[in-house]
Amino acid sequence: MTTMETIMPASEDEAADIIRDAASAGTTLEIAGGGTKRGIGQPLAADRVLSTAALSGITEYNPGELVLTARAGTPVADIAAALDENNQMLAFEPGDWRGLFGANGVPTIGAIAAANIAGPRRITVGAARDALIGARFVNGAGEVIRNGGKVMKNVTGLDLVKLMAGSWGTLGLLTEVSFKLLPRPQTETTLVLRGLSDGEGANLMAAALGTSAEVSGAAHLPEGVAARTGLDGGAATLLRLEGFAESVDARLQRLRDTLTGAPDMETLDVSASRDLWSGLRDVAPFAGGTRPLWKISVAPMAGHDVAALILRETAGEAFYDWQGGLVWLQLDDETDAAAEAVRAAVAKCGGGHATLIRAGDEIRRSVPVFQPQAPAVAALAERVRASLDPRGVFNPGRMVWNDGRKAA
């Protein structure tokens, strides 16, 4: 495979010049941050890679206002280090997926926004999109779009900041992002319940989220996955509590009292709890492999049913986050039939979104990697994309379905 030339502009103006030149010349650009998620989506066939790696650095951080602004290429680790000094955090828990692809780069904050990635705390605080309060980006015509500034014709009335989250680099090159922050919890613990089936785990998580215990993480790991996370002893249903120590202790007892009919319970201390949830955030149980990996978002009580339907048709394994609403599914079958089983199961269980996160190039070319959209939604998305990138400069093919439609 031919290695594409990578361009790393040192400023927003330089990036805009590069994009204008590409639009004029009819060439295409693959948008990249640290390059850790380039394996997601249709294999791209751009002329050059446009990287934000040199657009790095925190430009504004006021701990008292709980807001941070950084250039898009800023490593997430640099931001976390700055926030740690003030006991603050990006509450949506941006994931590090390098292990899924064997990637050597570093996760950048612009890529986290563009992919709208969120970890276990999403059930209480939302995804990256919900914390994103400002953005600057360069559209496909090489124009710099500023939050609260220029409004693009044909997309008037749309929130461009939120629109960029989850657009996967198909609408513009993010150059700067602003996020709202939250204080970091003083401590945390995780209640571990053993031996439940997937369905029983879903019911227990629903019961726990319905209490006043303020559960901030709810996941269920079948036996094999639990063992790989260091939780030997059978399937594990996990409930995380965070906050001040006295509050956590009181809420933990309240949760124990509510779940009196549950099986054996144990608790993890703060260090073990943080390590466990960091691993689930990064999808560590399925790291280091090459088998197809799906990220499936459905209604929380439908997750185990979706997985069961799929695993009747093909071999694999799953674990559940977001109270069961996020299914991480790794399959042994690398065929189109397996992908069809995934889509069919999601449709049968009330609908949702299934994204093929990892697979070989052949499967990524033949399978709709992102969730196919309804015709009306796809038409609207294409109009938005055409307004922001009329010459199709960015990420050609990333959001193309089998029938040739594109989506933003």
Residue 347 and residue 381 share a domain: no
State both tokens at 15: 């990036």
Which pLDDT score is estimated for 49? Answer: 94
Residue 355 and residue 251 share a domain: no
Residue 195 and residue 180 share a domain: no
Averaged pLDDT, groups of 10, the chain, 408 residues long = 82 98 96 90 85 97 96 98 98 96 92 96 96 95 75 56 91 96 97 96 96 97 96 95 98 92 88 98 94 96 97 95 98 88 95 93 86 86 90 76 38
In CATH, what number is assigned to the domain containing residue 196?
3.30.70.2190
Final residue of a structural domain among 249, 281, 313: 281
Final residue of a structural domain among 281, 315, 348: 281
In CATH, what number is assigned to the domain containing residue 108?
3.30.465.10
Residue 83 and residue 176 share a domain: yes
Which pLDDT score is estimated for 183? Answer: 97
Residue 298 and residue 269 share a domain: no
Find all residues with CB under 8 Å of 246, minimum gap 6, and list them: none
Residue 10 and residue 89 share a domain: yes
Question: What is the count of structural domains for the chain?
Answer: 3
Residue 147 and residue 2 share a domain: yes
Which pLDDT score is estimated for 64? Answer: 96
Residue 302 and residue 219 share a domain: no
Residue 241 and residue 335 share a domain: no
Largest pairwise CA distance in the chain: 68
Could you give the angle at which helices 198-209 and 245-258 cross, rounded to 10 degrees? 120
Residue 170 and residue 25 share a domain: yes
In CATH, what number is assigned to the domain containing residue 325?
3.30.70.1710
Rg value, the chain, Cα: 21
Which pLDDT score is estimated for 298? Answer: 97
CA distance 136 to 9: 15
Note down the domain range covering 310. Answer: 284-366
Residue 339 and residue 319 share a domain: yes
Residue 118 and residue 1 share a domain: yes
Final residue of a structural domain among 231, 264, 281: 281
